[in-house]
Amino acid sequence: MGKDVSEFENSCAKYLNVKHAIGCASGTDALQIAMMALGIGAGDEVITTSFTFVATVETIALIGAKPVYVDVEEDSFNMNVAQIEKAITKKTKAIIPVHLYGQSVDMNPLMEVAKKHNLFVIEDMCQAMGAEYNGKKVGTFGDISCTSFFPSKNLGAFGDAGMMYTNDDQLAEKMRMICNH
């Protein structure tokens, strides 16, 4: 959390054109901290895809929420956005689209569904740092986005590391507080 990390956070925020980038220990921590900052917990449901690294679903379970799965598109292996609306219940609090293989989930219709049902969107961009959707970088559509810098990711570190991104000042403050705790 020193000068080098702060400079890296600022560089990442500038690259994605977002207000805040908050570094943390791992992509797994980034996902968990994002949900904690949004107040997601026991009894809540979070829609995501089963075609993802275990951390996406693991973090939903760790905070006491229930993962609800939608299938993927055959050509991209990304979340099939057309299936989201039928998976929504009164307990649904968020959607976690997972951008895979440098490809973006179809974000415009996903964001329309989220807005219609007043749901949070947490983008898991651990496998798509730098990818774009309609000329806009992934990780800039939802309330929060998360990435991992694990050595096997498209932008890797010499060990484990993660980052959360948001344009919301209050969410950024909450995530920093949770990280520093």
Which of the four pLDDT bands, split at 50, 70 and 90, describes residue 85?
very high
Angstrom distance (rounded) from CA 150 to CA 71: 26
Is the pLDDT reported for residue 154 higher than 80?
no
Angstrom distance (rounded) from CA 50 to CA 20: 29
Give the mean model confidence (pLDDT) for residues 86-108.
95
- By the 8 A CB rule, do 16 and 139 touch? yes
pLDDT score recorded for residue 3: 87
Angstrom distance (rounded) from CA 113 to CA 108: 9
Whether 136 is a known active-site residue: answer: no
Is the whole-model pTM more than 0.95?
no
pLDDT score recorded for residue 5: 85
As a whole number, the mean pLDDT across the chain is: 91
User: Helix 27-37 and helix 54-62: axis angle, to 10°?
Assistant: 40
> Among residues 86, 115, 116, 153, which one is catalytic?
153
List CB contacts of 88: < 8 A, sequence separation 6 or more: 47, 113, 117, 119
pLDDT score recorded for residue 151: 44
Residue 72, SS3?
Answer: strand
Give the mean model confidence (pLDDT) for residues 64-93.
95
**pLDDT tens-digit profile of 15-27?**
999 999 999 988 8
**pLDDT tens-digit profile of 10-59?**
999 999 999 999 999 888 999 999 999 999 999 999 999 988 877 889 99
Which of the four pLDDT bands, split at 50, 70 and 90, describes residue 7?
very high
Choose among 147, 171, 141, 127: nearest CA to 8. Answer: 147
Antiparallel, parallel or unpaired: β 120-124 and 92-95 = parallel
- By the 8 A CB rule, do 28 and 164 touch? no
Cα-Cα-Cα-Cα dihedral sign, residues 39, 57, 81, 98: positive
